Structure 1
Amino acid sequence: MHIRIIRGQNQIGGNIIEVSTESTKIILDVGIELDEKIPDVPLVNGLFQGEANYNAVLISHYHGDHIGLINNILPNISIFMGEKAYNVYKTSMEYLNNDTVEISNFFRSEKEFYIGDINIKPILCDHSAFDSYMISLFSKNKKILYTGDFRASGRKSFYSLLKRLDKVDVLITEGTTLSRENFYSYTEKDLEKNAVETIQNNNYPVFVLMPSTNIDRIVTFYKVAIKTNRIFLQDTYMASITAIAGNNIPNPKDFKNVRVFLTMPSNKNYEILKSYRDKKIGRKGIAKENFIMCVRSSMKSYLEKLSNEISFNGGILFYSMWKGYLENEDMSNFIKFMENKGVETVYLHTSGHADVNAIDNLIKRTEPKYIIPIHTENSKWFEKYKNCEIIYDNQFNF
């Protein structure tokens, strides 16, 4: 088998990986670079330009640094990903009036299938993106495991996942957190406990700044709302995502204490709001309730109007995202805006990526002969595994 790292080595994000045999060519993820406003599409013949020359593209999850170039994939190349992940991606893109690609090939965890002479086994894992997968590839008695992005701090059992993993020849693994000094991975349950302790005796407004597609975090703060006797407020964008995720995900259609508010008037948003009937709520209604409101930095105008209905003074804003986003001007201005309203900012976040213990446990379980670090700025960390050969070249045959 042949492995070529087209992009994503010695950097975080932008994964594009080729795995091939003499008769089959597969791509793992098609990510854009982090913070790219205009995507840089690599000149990969047969994938993004020329005539299609790949059998399939397998998408581990819906974050932009793994799926961002999906619209650039040539026609006639099959695309696979988790069905729930695809629905979240499609709903998000359509809400934002972005183009989407229609696909009908969906992963089922641990349900194997063939692409050419390569056996594929997707394995559901925990990440800050819903319905994320590791991907096992097996051909001619040689096995590769691509981790995508994963963690051990979410609501799915990491040790249950480890039991389902086989020994492999090659491990292509992320190492996002390996360049972060003194990194400690709190669990989602830790966040829930800390948030409850922070606000349980506080009847002032509570706000949460988090990505609308981080389903685990939505579940965490919904549980906080229940334990502190508050309604849980989602804007029409988040509500569209939680509604399509469905099942046990807190959404306004199925959960009585989840309510929907509208921040950006438009015909489309009004139609979405109307579909929730008695679950919709306006500013005057919000002002009468104890609540946790999910917000974004683009909501300043709406929150200014809400502050005329209810004082924010003494309130809490949970910042539940990567701290690096605070360097963004819109984000820092939003934080200042809320603090000027008398709202205290409390940092409460855990990464979507594996810490050193999770990566170590994964390596001990899979016992790879070769490790190819990806999605990391600290590949040298892996050199402590003396029984493995660390591959730094972007092409490898075995």
Structure 2
Amino acid sequence: MKVKVIRGSNQIGGSIIEVASESTRVILDVGSELGENAPQTPAVEGLFNGTPSFDAVLISHYHGDHLGLLDSVLPEIPVFMGKKAYAVYEKQLEYAGKPLRDDIRTFEPRESFAIGDIQITPYLCDHSAFDSYMYLLQEGDEKVLYTGDFRSNGRKNFKYLLSLLPEVDKLIVEGTTLSGKHASARTEADLEYEAVQLIKRIGDAPVFVNMASTNIDRIVTFFRTAKRTGRVLLEDTYTASLTAAISGNIPNPKFPEVKVFLARPTERDYDILQHFSSSKIGRRGISKERFVMMVRPSMLGYLEKLSAEMDFNGGLLIYSLWGGYKEDERTKAFLTRMEELGLSIVDLHVSGHADTQTIEALIAVVKPKEIIPVHTENAEWFERFKADE
């Protein structure tokens, strides 16, 4: 099988990768480039325009830099993604009032399927997007593994994943942290422990967490943190719609320790709140609770009104995102205003990407004859493995 990196070999984000046999052509991810307000669709004939010439698009996870161009994929081309990832993606688009392709096909972990003469096996992996996958593509005796984005410091067992993976001919592997901008050896468990220790020191003062609502592992971390410190977890209507879509053991409005608040007075948010009426809580009720509240810069007006109902002094705002986002002017203004209201800003974050030891462990197990780096600004790092190919 031939591998062609259409985009993503010398950059982070915007991944578009082709894998082709003699008779079948498959695309791995159709990402928009990071920082694009209006994603630009590259001129890939047969994928985004012209006569369809690809047999399928496989999406590794729902982050925009991996599926941001999905709407531009020709409707005749089948699209595949994980069943629970699709549930999150569907709610994201529904909340944003955007149309959803009605032909997306879903699968469960390790549920193999064929695209032409290529057999596809998806392997559930850990990432900051829920229900993320690596893909094994096999044609005859030849095997290609695409990692998507992955890590070993989350809540899924990385050693178990490694035990499932075979040796492969080609490895298409992410290297996000190799530039040093995202590196982190800390785990979700470490973050939980540190958060618990911080919160225990502030008594009954409020705790806010600035984080991504789609980072389900992080929601679990702060739900566990809230329980261990005798607090309820407060999810806004958007976050509640996502966690409810996944349901199961993910902290959602059915949990007695989870409450739902309305930060945006839109008709859509009112409808969501009414759906979770047994779990809803208003500002007055929040002011009487010991809580951990998930927040975003867009909630500034709501939080200012909440500060009139209760004292923020001595409380915490935990910033749990990549530090680079702090350069955004809206985020800067939000954090400054939260400090003015009496909160201490604390950074507690864990990377969603594999560190060097994790990448090395994967390579040692799958023993690729060829390594194809993607999603990295330091592809040269992989030169060290050439002697072993």
- Normalising by structure 1, we get a TM-score of 0.96
TM alignment of 1:341-352, pairs within 5 A? 341-352=341-352
1:309-359 Cα shifts (integer Å, max 9, x gaps): 001111100000000000000001100010011100110000100000000
SS of equivalent residue, structure 1 residue 385: helix
**8 Å CA contact 1:80, 1:103 repeated in 2:** no
- Normalising by structure 2, we get a TM-score of 0.98
CA distance in 1: counterparts of 2:352 and 2:83, whole angstroms: 20
Q: 1:201 Cα deviation (Å)?
A: 3.5
CA distance in 2: counterparts of 1:343 and 1:182, whole angstroms: 26
**8 Å CA contact 1:9, 1:376 repeated in 2:** yes
SS of equivalent residue, structure 2 residue 293: strand
Asked if 1:269 is matched to 2:278, the reply is no
> Which 4+ stretches in 1 moved above 4 angstroms?
none
**8 Å CA contact 2:182, 2:322 repeated in 1:** no
**8 Å CA contact 2:182, 2:353 repeated in 1:** no
1:206 equivalent in structure 2: 207
Query: How many equivalent pairs are there?
Result: 388
2:49 equivalent in structure 1: 49
What letter corresponds to residue 144 of structure 1 in structure 2? V
What letter corresponds to residue 258 of structure 2 in structure 1? V
**8 Å CA contact 1:370, 1:388 repeated in 2:** no
What letter corresponds to residue 376 of structure 2 in structure 1? T
1:193-251 Cα shifts (integer Å, max 9, x gaps): 00000011321000000000000000000000000000110000000000001110000
2:110 equivalent in structure 1: 110
Q: 1:183 Cα deviation (Å)?
A: 3.2
**8 Å CA contact 2:31, 2:66 repeated in 1:** yes
1:228 equivalent in structure 2: 229
Q: 1:113 Cα deviation (Å)?
A: 1.3
Q: 1:104 Cα deviation (Å)?
A: 4.2
CA distance in 2: counterparts of 1:377 and 1:296, whole angstroms: 29
2:248 equivalent in structure 1: 247
CA distance in 2: counterparts of 1:340 and 1:95, whole angstroms: 31
SS of equivalent residue, structure 2 residue 48: coil
Asked if 1:285 is matched to 2:298, the reply is no
CA distance in 2: counterparts of 1:147 and 1:5, whole angstroms: 14
What letter corresponds to residue 237 of structure 1 in structure 2? Y
Asked if 1:369 is matched to 2:373, the reply is no
2:218 equivalent in structure 1: 217
1:143 equivalent in structure 2: 143
**8 Å CA contact 1:109, 1:123 repeated in 2:** yes
1:124-146 Cα shifts (integer Å, max 9, x gaps): 00000000000000113111000
1:29-51 Cα shifts (integer Å, max 9, x gaps): 00000010111101111100011
Q: Give % identity.
A: 55
What letter corresponds to residue 294 of structure 2 in structure 1? C
What letter corresponds to residue 245 of structure 1 in structure 2? I
TM alignment of 1:179-190, pairs within 5 A? 179-180=179-180, 183-190=183-190
Asked if 1:86 is matched to 2:81, the reply is no
Q: 1:307 Cα deviation (Å)?
A: 0.3
CA distance in 2: counterparts of 1:280 and 1:183, whole angstroms: 38
2:24 equivalent in structure 1: 24
Q: 1:19 Cα deviation (Å)?
A: 0.6
Q: 1:111 Cα deviation (Å)?
A: 1.8
SS of equivalent residue, structure 2 residue 13: coil
**8 Å CA contact 2:184, 2:351 repeated in 1:** no
What letter corresponds to residue 268 of structure 1 in structure 2? R
SS of equivalent residue, structure 1 residue 308: helix
What letter corresponds to residue 221 of structure 2 in structure 1? T
Q: 1:268 Cα deviation (Å)?
A: 1.6
Aligned Cα root-mean-square deviation (Å): 1.1
2:15 equivalent in structure 1: 15
